[in-house]
Amino acid sequence: MNYIYGINAVSEALKARGRAFQWVGMAKERHDIRLQRMIEECRKLGVPVKFLTRTELDQMAGRSAHQGVVAVTSAKQYSDLDDVVGAKRGRYSFVIVLDGVEDPHNLGALMRTADAAGADGVVIPERRAAPVTGTVTKTSAGASEYLPIAKVTNIARTVEELKERNIWTVGLDERGRQTYDALDYNMDCALVLGAEGKGLHDLVKKKCDFLVSIPMLGKVPSLNVSVAGAVVMYEIVRQRRARENAEKNNEAASGVK
């Protein structure tokens, strides 16, 4: 059985309708408005609801941080690279490639930021990396239910494939000579992030078109991958919004003339 848990994670999974739900278990002692809304949503979708003890929910989730909600569902359906590239949400492609992120909390946090920043989708490797588990779904606050997520056999080869599709690849590396905010992201691009502690694999690094770094002004030499990823993702958002606003202002000014 596949379990997802947490109010936001289960609620967003119900809305996204990307999984088949067997049933949703809820804590008997909870009677608040958030769970009542979820019960109503389940009824609309024809998903059975069972009222269980917290001990039963703890056993299902494997932990107690389920907020009184655990769902029994089908597994996350992964996409392929074509789906991710084809899910272009804006003028320019914006793909997140993860080179072996192993901590499910980091993976979930990255997916939450990727969705918030308007990324088209996420690419993860089949091996030596965290899959999309219940922990990932909860940490992402359900964002993983909306993002196309491709599983690939080889990240270095995938970087090459993206380049063949005219998508520029930007690797984040602490030894990158160019700072992350010095690069112009108004282009079709993929942000490539490495594993915790290890960073990008050497071959992946060599394949990237650009290597950028985040200046570290304190005593600690690096940031957590989910934090570092968020910093660069929102620089991409900032630059693209600035370009769009400048173009709109220029068009408005031309119209006045």
Model pLDDT, residue 20: 95
Q: Write the pLDDT tens digit of every residue in 12-38.
A: 999 999 999 999 999 998 888 999 999
Model pLDDT, residue 97: 98
More confident residue, 192 or 221: 192
Asked if the structure places residue 257 within a domain, the reply is no
Which structural domain, as residue segments, surrounds residue 45?
Answer: 2-73
Tell me the pTM.
0.92
Residues 211 and 96 in one domain: yes
Q: Write the pLDDT tens digit of every residue in 37-58.
A: 999 999 999 999 999 999 999 9
More confident residue, 63 or 59: 59
Asked if the structure places residue 12 within a domain, the reply is yes
Asked if the structure places residue 254 within a domain, the reply is no
CATH number of the domain residue 184 falls in: 3.40.1280.10
Residues 240 and 191 in one domain: yes
Evaluate if residue 256 carries a pLDDT over 70.
no
Q: Write the pLDDT tens digit of every residue in 118-171.
A: 999 999 999 989 999 999 999 999 999 999 999 999 999 999 999 999 999 999
More confident residue, 189 or 255: 189
For the chain, give the mean pLDDT.
94
Residues 143 and 241 in one domain: yes
Residues 126 and 210 in one domain: yes
Model pLDDT, residue 247: 92
pLDDT band at 220 (very low <50, low <70, confident <90, very high): confident
Q: Write the pLDDT tens digit of every residue in 93-103.
A: 999 999 999 99
Asked if the structure places residue 65 within a domain, the reply is yes
Q: What is the 3-state secondary structure (H, E, C) of the chain?
A: CEEEECHHHHHHHHHHCCCCEEEEEEECCCCCHHHHHHHHHHHHHCCCEEEECHHHHHHHHCCCCCCCEEEEECCCCCECHHHHHHCCCCCCCEEEEEECCCCHHHHHHHHHHHHHCCCCEEEEECCCCCCCCHHHHHHCCCHHHCCCEEEECCHHHHHHHHHHCCCEEEEECCCCCEEHHHCCCCCCEEEEEEECCCECCHHHHHHCCEEEECCCCCCCCCCCHHHHHHHHHHHHHHHHHHHHHHHHHHHHHHHHC
Asked if the structure places residue 197 within a domain, the reply is yes
Residues 64 and 123 in one domain: no
Choosing from 29, 52, 73, the residue where a domain stops is 73
CATH number of the domain residue 47 falls in: 3.30.1330.30
How many domains are there within the chain?
A: 2
Residues 25 and 45 in one domain: yes
Evaluate if residue 257 carries a pLDDT over 70.
no
Asked if the structure places residue 253 within a domain, the reply is no
